[in-house]
Structure 1
Amino acid sequence: MSNELLTPAEMGEADRKAIEAGPFDGIKLMRNAGACVAREVLRRYAAAERVHVLCGPGNNGGDGYVVARLLAESGVPVSLWSSGEPRPGSDAALAAGECPLRPMPLAGFLPTTGSIIVDALYGAGLSRAIEGDTVRAIELAITFGLPVVAIDLPSGISGANGRVMGAAFRAELTITFARMKPGHLLMPGREYCGEMVLSDIGISDAVIDELQVCTFRNCPQLWLGEFPVPGVDTHKYRRGHVGVFSGGPASTGAGRLSALAAARSGAGAVTVLSPGNALAVNAMHLTSIMLRKADDGTEVEAFIGDRRPSAFVLGPGFGVGDKVREFALAVLAVRAGVEGLVLDADGITSFREEPSALFTAAAAPDAPALVLTPHDGEFARLFPDLAADEGLSKLERARQAAARSHGVVVAKGADTVIAAPDGRAAINANGTPWLATAGSGDVLAGLIAGLLAQGMPAFGAACAAVWIHAEAGARFGPGLIAEDLPLALAPVLRELTYSTES
């Protein structure tokens, strides 16, 4: 599955460029799309007593007319319903003219038990809330418990941001074309789409390349070429050194989780930087991970000078206050050797009153990369205006936050968005509810730092860590707690490493 995500506007431009380039004109692309949908319906719903095809007046409806014609030609009982006539001379009008079935007004739609619905009312480009007969059709689908096959996107879901526009079909299967849209992956759209099928209708990769897309589905294809694989002559000092800041005596667990994840990621060495009063607690729980006292900025600077660490994690279990700010700014002031700083949890909250100090430090020439990993609440503390702007999608908020902070932003959640200051962004698609457990984010922060330490660029490291973290959680499944995660990372990392070598 191709990993670019196209906005509705970009998809429209791709259609236009594909028609200009040939060999398919608009109606042929529409016929191809309809054929893909009809094929899936015949394969999956052969036992359906009737197929109700609901067509809108636009190109999505045109796809529906093709589906209705092909299903009828295959001997399937089809009822065709229309919310409005296509524009005369349009491709949708041509498709409607080729369909031998006469559409009935959507206002009279009444399904029967044992039938299915093909939703061809509105596609990804929906820009206003649906109402009237379409809302009634959605309610009937729910009442009768009918499977819905959506063309492009379930009607009522925005292709740009995944939001429900008034009401929406909840599809069992969604079939889209050429490339997925952000609305397929952003919540709640992801829940409404059901199973996703991406079909080739004749829009070439060359056409997509011309668009210079900067939004992606997060998957190994996006970052595997940057994934660190040790050479046969590698030793531990070439695999990077991660420093993880620990909290006080009663809050050391979060830092150790981050440290374990950094070690599992392949970092050659990991050191927990502990307050003096927590050294004994940490020492009782650490074996392969090193331990060093760090009570102030001078001791942190001494550690950097002595051990030349490649990346840091700051925030998990650390506590909020001046010391976080002091340590973060000290790391970002290093101009050689440190690849990056992962700022999570308390590290983010500590800059709530003075975010400009953090952003200015990250923007300095040759500063280490900054990676921020906020959940929704932490995001709102650091970027209150963006969080409060209901007109922005999660994708847009993350992008603007990355540009403002001069760092990579990992906006966590079921639809985690990873955004870079240069405008690139990726939406994660393999999230799992099993990761909704205390300490899971600490493991993610350590995993990002471990990949950074091994030389992976910040955006790629963040994307890879988010995907690996989710994959490990999904494979483990029910019963997962954060302590399980570092070891659960191992089989996923092993598969990625061997696929890179092959």
Structure 2
Amino acid sequence: MTELLTSAQMRAIEQAAIASDAVTGLELMERAGQGVVDAVFEEWPALAKTSHRAVVLCGPGNNGGDGFVVARLLKQHGWDVDVFLYGDPDRLPVDARTNYDRWCALGPVQNLTLKTLHDLQNEHFSVVCDALFGTGLTRPVQGDLVPILKTIRLGLWPYERARLPLEHYVAIDVPTSICADSGELIVKEGDTLAHFRADLTVTFHAPKLGHYLCDGPDVVGKLAVKDIGLTYSCDHTVRLTGAGDDLDKEASRHKFSHGHAIVLSGAAGHTGAARLSARGALRVGAGMVTVASPKSAMLENALQLTAIMVLEADGPQALKRVLDDERINALCLGPALGVDTRAAKLVAVALEAKRKTVCDADALTLLSQDAGLFAKLHESCVLTPHAGEFKRLFPDIAEKLDAPAITGPAYSKVDATRDAAKRAGCVVLFKGADTVIASPDGKASINASLYERSAPWLATAGSGDVLAGFITGLLARGYAPHAAAEVGAYLHTECGLSFGAGLVAEDLPEELPKVFKMLGI
């Protein structure tokens, strides 16, 4: 799985490499600048074939130093390059100052002001490079930089792009004003346009959390990660989800070896969500799946299920009898279950059984309404809230997450999900295009339906019910809760990508065989 780093972790890796004499800071800066130029030419091959013109906006730190390297390398490639510095050259860090001096031997450096920017409006540039702050920004930009960034940002809007006829926007590490740890825009109230929006963002060694969270993906454009020769790693990193390596089944095993999952059904007229979950659980490989149905919905469920069994569980005592079967090892609670007293009692019985359990939809609402019920959660549970459900379950955490970011590192969706998991004492999967999965011990991962994995057709009724079923089926197969949430979310996105436009929830389980084949299973 791909590691995602915070800005502090990236600094620690760089400092460890420099301290070990494996590399100098100046060498890392040179490699970073070369990585940016390589990424630009890889993304737009035509730019490598003839000379063009670029603008490089350099800031007062090492990100600005990377910018001076980019300018020099483009100049050596035959380009005309205009370099601007926001800050005092005498206060640049040592390595950045060295690259400032190297650039000055080739061309001038202009002060970055609103006037100098306006002077460029009638000129054409192939590349504008944002080397202002990178991962080091911890407070909103101030002074002249606010209208400068607003002017550039307005020029990026498709219907206004002709105002500044600039073709390709490139950011080094992260676009200016984005928190590298949270993806939040760090801006003052009323200054939401005071940020850089890139077509291509080039980062080094490993992606940063902010590339995958909140506003980050909207302003990053396409993300390129360049190797700069660092071999060091950090503990407690967040990882992107993957398929895992144990989805296949052994030929010598039988259905009971792969578990028996129970999905609780809602009342008559409210049964479709449970069937979607059950189908997902069966397709993902659970050996047996049963829909536990109230008496009033037995016929409705039975008429639409074949491989999935139907069993009457008309109340809490009936469910207790069902759960006397110790072969039942995974439960799915919530999809269209209802939020009445009967449903609350069913959830209580299911949680008291201490089986691996997914709590979704109505079960989450019930948990948010009843502290006693919430207290029954255990380490084998997985909660799968979307933003609204998360807010009901963890209102204080959600309020902290939703607060405007005025300093960095800002409180992130990863921080919020970790705090929620610790409070609940179980795995929390916080849904979204940037789905975050966290355990009480702080382990966290992200399933990113972003960039090349963007799957907008998953935004359809019932999609979340199928995800709950995928996770339940994986729990039945023996996956630990965190791993089941990771793999279930990953497969869910892959099914959306595989089917594409026109997807409805019923298509997701049926797309799994194609996805498994693509994964070599």
Aligned to 2:487: 464
Q: Distance in 1 between matches of 2:306 and 2:41?
A: 59
The 1:26/1:114 distance shift into structure 2, 3 A limit, reads closer
Matching residue of 2:190: none
Structure 1 residue 306: Cα displacement: 2.9
Whether the 8 Å CA contact 1:398–1:409 is kept in 2: the answer is yes
Residues 72 and 114 (structure 1), Cα distance of their counterparts in 2 relative to 1, 3 Å cut? closer
Secondary structure at the aligned position of 2:323 is classed as helix
Deviations along 1:42-64, one digit per CA (max 9) or x if unpaired, are 44234673110110010110000
Q: Which residue of 1 aligns with 2:513?
A: 490
Tell me which residue corresponds to 1:36.
35
Indicate the SS of the match to 2:519: helix
Deviation at 1:89, TM superposition (A): 5.4
Q: Distance in 1 between matches of 2:520 and 2:148?
A: 49
Which of residues 97, 102, 118 is equivalent to 2:101? 97
Partner of 1:144 in structure 2? 164
Partner SS, residue 350 of structure 1: helix
Instruction: Give the whole-Å Cα distance in 2 for the aligned partners of 1:33 and 1:411.
Output: 34
Q: Which moved more, 1:137-146 or 1:415-424?
A: 137-146
Map residues 99-138 of structure 1 onto 2, 5 A cutoff.
99=103, 100-107=106-113, 108-109=116-117, 110-111=120-121, 112-138=123-149
Q: What displacement does 1:318 show?
A: 0.7
RMSD of aligned Cα (Å): 1.8
Q: Does 1:423 align with 2:429?
A: no
Give the partner amino acid of 1:17. Answer: A
Q: Do structure 1's residue 451 and structure 2's residue 474 form an aligned pair?
A: yes
Deviation at 1:356, TM superposition (A): 5.0
Residue in 1 aligned with 2:293?
274
* Structure 1 residue 307, shift from structure 2 partner: 6.0
Equivalent position of 1:182 in the other structure: 209
After TM superposition, list the pairs within 5 Å mapping 1:102-501 onto structure 2.
102-107=108-113, 108-109=116-117, 110-111=120-121, 112-138=123-149, 139-140=151-152, 141-142=155-156, 143-144=163-164, 146=166, 147-166=168-187, 167-204=194-231, 207-208=232-233, 211-220=234-243, 224-225=244-245, 227-306=246-325, 308-334=327-353, 338=355, 340-355=356-371, 357-358=373-374, 360-363=375-378, 369-389=380-400, 390-391=402-403, 392-430=411-449, 431-496=454-519, 498=521
Q: Is the 8 A contact 1:48 1:116 kept in 2?
A: no
Q: CA deviation at 1:88?
A: 5.0
Paired AA for residue 353 in structure 1: Q
Three-state SS of the structure 2 residue aligned to 1:254 is helix
What residue identity is the alignment partner of 1:382?
L
* Cα pair distance change 1:310/1:301, threshold 3 Å: same
Counterparts in 2 of 1:487 and 1:244: CA distance versus 1, 3 Å: same
> Which range moves more in the overlay, 390-399 or 40-49?
40-49
What do the CA deviations read for 1:379-427 (whole angstroms, capped 9, x no partner)? 1111111111135322111110001001111111121111111101112
2:74 equivalent among 71, 75, 80: 71
The 2-side partners of 1:356 and 1:200 are apart by 51
User: Which residue is 1:11 aligned to?
Assistant: 10
Count residues with an aligned counterpart: 481
Letter in 1 for 2:216: G
Deviations 1:414-460 (A, max 9, x none): 21111111101112223421111100000000000001110111111
- Mapped partners of 2:76, 2:462: distance in 1: 56
* Structure 1 residues 202 and 73: alpha-carbon distance in aligned structure 2, compared to 1, 3 A threshold: same
**Are 1:417 and 1:428, in contact at CA under 8 Å, matched by a contact in 2?**
yes
Rate the CA distance shift 1:25–1:456 in 2: closer, same or farther, 3 A: same
Instruction: Work out whether residues 125 and 165 of structure 2, in 8 Å CA contact, stay in contact via their aligned partners in 1.
Output: no
- Counterpart CA distance in 1 for 2:388 and 2:93 is 51
- 2:160 aligns to what? none
Letter of the structure 1 residue corresponding to residue 215 of structure 2:
P
The alpha-carbon deviation at position 188 of structure 1 amounts to 1.2
CA contact (8 A) 1:343 1:371 kept: yes
Q: Are the equivalent residues in 1 in contact too, given 2:298–2:312 (CA < 8 A)?
A: yes
Give the 3-state SS of the residue equivalent to 1:310 in structure 2. Answer: strand
Runs of 4+ with deviation above 4 angstroms: none
Mind listing any 5+ residue stretches in structure 1 that lack a counterpart? none
CA displacement 1:62-105 (0-9 Å, x = unmatched): 00000001110111111111101353552111121222322111
2:372 and 2:517 map into 1 onto residues whose CA distance is 40
Query: 2:311 and 2:53 mapped to 1: Cα distance?
Result: 70
Shift of residue 268, structure 1, vs aligned partner: 0.8
Deviations 1:352-379 (A, max 9, x none): 2223532x3234xxx6x11001111111
Q: Structure 2 length as normaliser, TM-score?
A: 0.89
Percent identical: 42
Structure 2: distance between partners of 1:217 and 1:136: 36
Distance 2:97 2:505 in 1: 56
Change (3 A) 1:48 1:165: farther
d(CA) in 2 for partners of 1:133 and 1:496? 51
In structure 2, relative to structure 1, the CA distance for the partners of 1:324 and 1:56 (3 Å cut) is: same
Equivalent AA in structure 2 for residue 124 of structure 1: T
How far apart are the structure 2 equivalents of 1:496 and 1:145?
Answer: 44
Q: Which secondary structure state, in structure 2, belongs to the residue aligned with residue 230 of structure 1? A: coil
For the 8 Å contact 1:341–1:449, the answer to whether it is kept is yes
Tell me if the contact between 2:61 and 2:93 (Cα under 8 Å) persists in the aligned partners: no
Q: Deviations over 1:285-315 (max 9, x none)?
A: 0010000001122221221223621211110
For residue 497 of structure 1, report the CA deviation from its aligned partner.
5.2
